[in-house]
A and B are shown apart, each in its own frame.
Chain A
Amino acid sequence: MTNYILKRLGQGLLTVFLTVSTVFVLIRMAPGDPAVSYAGPLATTEQLDAVREQFGLNKPVLEQYWIFLQQLFTGNLGQSYSFQAPAMQVVAERMPYTLTLATASILLTAVVAIPLGVWMSRRPDTGKELGVNVLTIAGQSMPDFWTGIMLLTGFAVLVPIFPASGFATWGGLVLPTITIAILQIALISRMVRREMTANFAAPYLTVARSRGVKNSVLTWRYAMGNSAIPVFTALGTRFAAMLNGVVVVEVVFAWPGVGSLIVRALETRDYPLIQATVLLTALLAVGVQLVIDLAYPLLDPRVRLGKAATA
């Protein structure tokens, strides 16, 4: 067990390291000079050189990478160009907002999608189910920025129930959460339906039913018990992906999270900020993945983690 955790931690840290290194190379290949966007278009050559000197951008790329590695180990990725503050601090201030949004969305998704999927799997291909099925297809076919703008117009402008943007009150959480959840509910409920239908067709369920096990027990204990792992994995993976920033939705609702931060950082070529965002979000995502894997034995006593790692 300890070995397994250590091994997974090692793998996770390696992934994070490779990710930040890839991003380091990519942003330095990109056109656009951070000095120009920092000093403005009217800056003289001397001013630009001074800015490059100040940020260490005139050093060879390999030396910059060496400095970056040293910074990585001390956890201080340098000053953000546009915020004039330590980049890690800027990202850390935004992180709670993204975490809140992601948590709210995944909770709403789980609460709606699992019962919905179960409901669909118990009456597959009937008229009602087909209707709901088409609705879930529609849910996964709507571009999230469009859904967001539509909800925004409907419930913040025309009928002003909720605030339109930002996160000043808890009401501001409602519309972005729903926007994200619509897509996730569609995906997860279809997955629950697929898993449950497969389990309902399995011989062990026929045997249990013929022995007079109640329908509710069949559904929730037997079929759901065996669908729990894939569904839980999907929910966890989606949550981890959201931590990387729900970029589009954050932009639409002017949500002060890391997603909208990264768009701004890319626009201004704020190298330290880009790197800090990637580092923090990748670390969190890897951590969440690890927690998901560690939770498997709780959901299914047949799972032995040490063996799963070697097999």
Chain B
Amino acid sequence: MSIDTATPAGGSSPLPAGQPARQPSPSAVTKADIAKAGATRRRNAAKWKLIVGTVCTLLVIIPIILAQVLPLPDANFQDLSARRLPPFTDGHLFGTDQLGRDLLSRVLHGGQVSLTIGLLAVLVSGAIGIILGAAAGYFGGWVDTVVSRLLEAQMSLPLLMMLLLVVALFGPSIPVITFVIAIAQWPEVARLTRSMVLVEREKPYVSAARILGLHRIQILIQHIIPNVIKQATLVVLLLLAQAVLLESALSFLGAGPQRPFATWGRIISDGQDYITTSWWMVTLPGLVIVLMVVGVNLLGDGLRDRPRRKKKGA
């Protein structure tokens, strides 16, 4: 059955097939058709998502990076005479909290901690996931068995509970929380890398490299991993969004870092008791989280859907 290979111009255009002498001049596919075509819409949507995603992410990240430079009061400076001021009063853009601390400053300084944890966690989980996933896919055998069993075991564990347990065990320091989030996230990267490497290792270039006498580890590192790393890093970017959310959930439950600054989840749980009188103490930090996570997610979506110009392999 080879019905679908008959029309070279693609399914959507109404080209009369089988005409003897086809004119090279005006195509039946007009500009309007192209603009309406699925591929064009897809490309435009991807472009739009990339732009909006970048804007949202930078809107949050740039102030966070510059938190030390910006003219803000100290995040931990308490002024009991200026408690719970609403936003835009006395130079407090986000208002103040129940101890008179500047909310914007708290959010930005806490964001530095949140973001550091998120980035570190994603780096660690990405590294573990890619290495173990690639090894499992390439070597197969007992390596694959061990890694796959680990992946399954982690699926059936009550995740958030285990995270709380480990944090209770080693104390809520930044390295512990980073490690805990990384442990929660590596399976996703590992599963994807493993499946891609399984496909990749059957390709001719791998056999060629082996015949040329390259060591198996060298083939894996020099030839296979570069071919899958792009897609794997895309997943890692989406994991960053999850890591930030997970960290905020942990610190909301009181298992987040306390020093040097309280992170986002903690700020929200602090403000929870004053929600009826001081709406900003919960709403604004939450909006900052949403803005940033939406940005990162849009960015990841846009990058995934973006048409690829250079097509290697396949």
Do A244 and B268 contact each other (CB < 8 Å), given the known contacts A138-B290, A143-B286, A251-B253? no
* A163 CB–B CB distance under 8 Å: no
B286 engages A150 (CB within 8 Å)? yes
Smallest CB gap from A23: residue in B: B165
Interface of B is mostly: helix
Interface set, chain B 253-292, CB cutoff 8 A to A: 253, 265, 268-269, 272, 275-276, 279, 282-283, 286, 289-290
In angstroms, Cα B284 to Cα A150, docked, is 11
A245 engages B4 (CB within 8 Å)? no
A143 engages B165 (CB within 8 Å)? no
A143 engages B245 (CB within 8 Å)? yes
B276 engages A266 (CB within 8 Å)? no
For residue A185, give the distance in angstroms from its CB to the closest CB of chain B: 15
User: Which A residues are CB-close (under 8 A) to B265?
Assistant: 143, 145
* B153 CB–A CB distance under 8 Å: yes
Q: Per-residue CB proximity of B1-36 to A under 8 Å, as 1/0?
A: 001100000010000000000000000000000000
A245 engages B158 (CB within 8 Å)? yes
User: Which B residues are CB-close (under 8 A) to A32?
Assistant: 168
Number of B interface residues at 8 Å Cβ cutoff, please give it.
Answer: 48
Do A145 and B276 contact each other (CB < 8 Å), given the known contacts A138-B294, A244-B158? no
Q: Which of A126, A241, A247 contacts B253 (CB 8 A)?
A: A247
Do A247 and B268 contact each other (CB < 8 Å), given the known contacts A19-B156, A207-B3? no
A145 engages B268 (CB within 8 Å)? yes
Q: Which of B168, B248, B282 contacts A30 (CB 8 A)?
A: B168
* B78 CB–A CB distance under 8 Å: no
Do A143 and B157 contact each other (CB < 8 Å), given the known contacts A125-B41, A248-B253, A266-B168? no
A286 engages B156 (CB within 8 Å)? yes
User: Which A residues are CB-close (under 8 A) to B45?
Assistant: 125, 130, 133
Stretch of A70-78, A217-225, A277-285 that contacts chain B: A277-285
Q: Per-residue CB proximity of A268-290 to B under 8 Å, as 1/0?
A: 00000010011001100110010
How many Cβ-Cβ contacts under 8 Å join chain A to chain B?
Answer: 132
Do A146 and B165 contact each other (CB < 8 Å), given the known contacts A124-B41, A126-B41? no
Do A145 and B156 contact each other (CB < 8 Å), given the known contacts A26-B166, A125-B41, A247-B161? no
User: Which A residues are CB-close (under 8 A) to B290?
Assistant: 138, 141-143, 146
- Residue of B157, B158, B164 contacting most chain A CB atoms (<10 Å): B158
Q: Which of B171, B241, B249 contacts A145 (CB 8 A)?
A: B249
In angstroms, Cα B215 to Cα A251, docked, is 54
User: Which B residues are CB-close (under 8 A) to A150?
Assistant: 282-283, 286
User: Which B residues are CB-close (under 8 A) to A142?
Assistant: 286, 289-290, 293
Q: Per-residue CB proximity of B156-181 to A under 8 Å, as 1/0?
A: 11111110111011010000000000
A30 engages B165 (CB within 8 Å)? yes
Number of A interface residues at 8 Å Cβ cutoff, please give it.
Answer: 51
* B140 CB–A CB distance under 8 Å: no
For residue B229, give the distance in angstroms from its CB to the closest CB of chain A: 23
* B139 CB–A CB distance under 8 Å: no
A141 engages B253 (CB within 8 Å)? no
A30 engages B159 (CB within 8 Å)? no
* A41 CB–B CB distance under 8 Å: no
Q: Per-residue CB proximity of A120-145 to B under 8 Å, as 1/0?
A: 00001110001001100110111111
For residue B291, give the distance in angstroms from its CB to the closest CB of chain A: 9
Interface set, chain B 29-69, CB cutoff 8 A to A: 38, 41-42, 44-45, 48, 52
* B112 CB–A CB distance under 8 Å: no
Do A144 and B168 contact each other (CB < 8 Å), given the known contacts A125-B38, A150-B286? no
For residue B284, give the distance in angstroms from its CB to the closest CB of chain A: 11
For residue A258, give the distance in angstroms from its CB to the closest CB of chain B: 9
* B297 CB–A CB distance under 8 Å: yes
A124 engages B156 (CB within 8 Å)? no
Do A30 and B301 contact each other (CB < 8 Å), given the known contacts A130-B45, A145-B252? no
Q: Which of B11, B160, B171, B298 contacts A134 (CB 8 A)?
A: B298
Q: Which of A15, A30, A206, A251 contacts B169 (CB 8 A)?
A: A30
In angstroms, Cα B5 to Cα A203, docked, is 11
User: Which B residues are CB-close (under 8 A) to A19?
Assistant: 156-158
* A263 CB–B CB distance under 8 Å: yes
User: Which B residues are CB-close (under 8 A) to A277?
Assistant: 161
For residue B232, give the distance in angstroms from its CB to the closest CB of chain A: 19
Interface set, chain B 188-219, CB cutoff 8 A to A: none
For residue B12, give the distance in angstroms from its CB to the closest CB of chain A: 11
Q: Per-residue CB proximity of B233-255 to A under 8 Å, as 1/0?
A: 00000000100010011001100
User: Which A residues are CB-close (under 8 A) to B294?
Assistant: 134, 137-138, 141
* A27 CB–B CB distance under 8 Å: yes
Q: Which of A124, A143, A245 contacts B38 (CB 8 A)?
A: A124
Do A137 and B297 contact each other (CB < 8 Å), given the known contacts A126-B41, A150-B286? yes
In angstroms, Cα B152 to Cα A267, docked, is 29
Q: Which of A125, A133, A153, A285 contacts B276 (CB 8 A)?
A: A153
Known: A138-B290, A145-B265. 16 other contacts (CB 8 A): A26-B165, A26-B166, A31-B169, A31-B171, A124-B38, A126-B41, A138-B294, A141-B241, A144-B249, A146-B282, A146-B286, A245-B161, A248-B160, A262-B164, A263-B253, A289-B156
Between A and B, 13 residue pairs with Cβ closer than 8 Å are: A124-B38, A125-B44, A130-B45, A137-B294, A140-B297, A141-B297, A143-B286, A145-B249, A149-B275, A150-B282, A153-B276, A245-B158, A251-B253
List the 6 closest pairs (A to B, CB-CB), nearest first.
A244-B158, A141-B293, A146-B286, A125-B41, A30-B169, A125-B45
